[in-house]
Amino acid sequence: MLVLDGKIAAASVKELLKKETTDLAAKGKPSPHLAAILIGNNGASETYVASKVKNCEEIGFRSTLIRFPDDIAEQELLQTVDSLNKNKDIDGILVQLPLPKHISEQKLIEAIDPTKDVDGFHPSSVGKLVQGLPTFIPATPYGIILLLEHYDIPTKGKHAVVIGRSNIVGRPMSILLSSNMAKGNCTVTICHSHTPNLSEIAATADILVAALGKPEFVTADMVKPGAVVIDVGITRVNDDTAKKGFRIKGDVNYAEAATKAGAITPVPGGVGLMTIAGLLKNTMQAYLNNRG
Ligand code: GUN
């Protein structure tokens, strides 16, 4: 059984990006610059954004973190996005989700200039993804594709089952796996909360992607022997015995699934690290498109 190690795969992506950034500096060019907007003090969002900033630093990218309190007015956020859109020294813009209830996620996503949409959430980016046109692929599905590439996992003609239909992971993942591309050409089934016999369908998957946000949902009976199991879950579960008071749990019961899988991603140390790699690649792409 092969462990699909996100740390190793992400390090190889980051090494290439670092070299590209060094080459830019040698030519006297500025480095790519990511702007991240973080609203409120959601613990998980704080951790993710801090990790994005740290990873930018590691490879020589610049980053600007813009923080707002929970009660920020939507109009002020839209104005901030507008000024980042106009700022020629900013290559990529992301707004960390989820947002407070009084802010329209859709309005904010649509306010981002598609040429700086490194999260790939703008309807223009999603439309291009569906049509197989070059665009920004949402970071988590992109990271999973990079992981499949790193370990050269065959996908052509395989049955992929994606559990979850979110705009951030499940939906774009299903599109990519069915696309005519190197790590695509799968026959894809999407399962969700209204799918009867979900366990039976999952058990027919050659590639099983669990992205529903329910800790340890995927059990041994849902894994076909030899399947490639990709765990996208990162839920904080309270645990008084843990130093931080919680543990990170994936959507897959790792101990059970590992007894049947041919390959599996750990949590932590799997898809989460690849998500950052996907975001960094998008940021470099935005830089090259806009001022390369
Ligand atoms: N919240 C959870 N995942 C993501 C992501 O990939 N991007 C942003 N902006 N917010 C998220």
Per-residue pLDDT tens digits for 140-185: 999 999 999 999 999 999 999 999 999 999 999 999 999 999 999 9
Q: Are residues 149 and 109 in the same domain?
A: no
Q: Are residues 259 and 162 in the same domain?
A: yes
pLDDT of res. 226: 98
Decide if 194 is inside a domain. yes
Decide if 70 is inside a domain. yes
Whether 96 sits among the annotated catalytic residues: the reply is: yes
Give the chain's residues under pLDDT 50: none
141 CA distance to ligand 1 middle (Å): 11
Q: Are residues 60 and 166 in the same domain?
A: no
Euclidean distance between CA atoms 45 and 265, whole angstroms: 22
CATH number of domain containing 93: 3.40.50.10860
Decide if 132 is inside a domain. no
**Helix (H) / strand (E) containing 66:** strand 62-68
Range of the domain at 173: 139-272
pLDDT of res. 292: 74
Phi-psi group of 30: left, alpha or beta (phi > 0 → left; psi -120 to 50 → alpha; rest → beta):
beta
pTM: 0.97
pLDDT of res. 161: 99
Catalytic residue, chosen from 91, 117, 119, 251, is 119
Domain termination residue (choose one: 113, 129, 148): 113
pLDDT of res. 183: 98
pLDDT of res. 56: 98
Which residues are near ligand 1 (CB < 6 Å)? 94-97, 119, 139-140, 168, 275
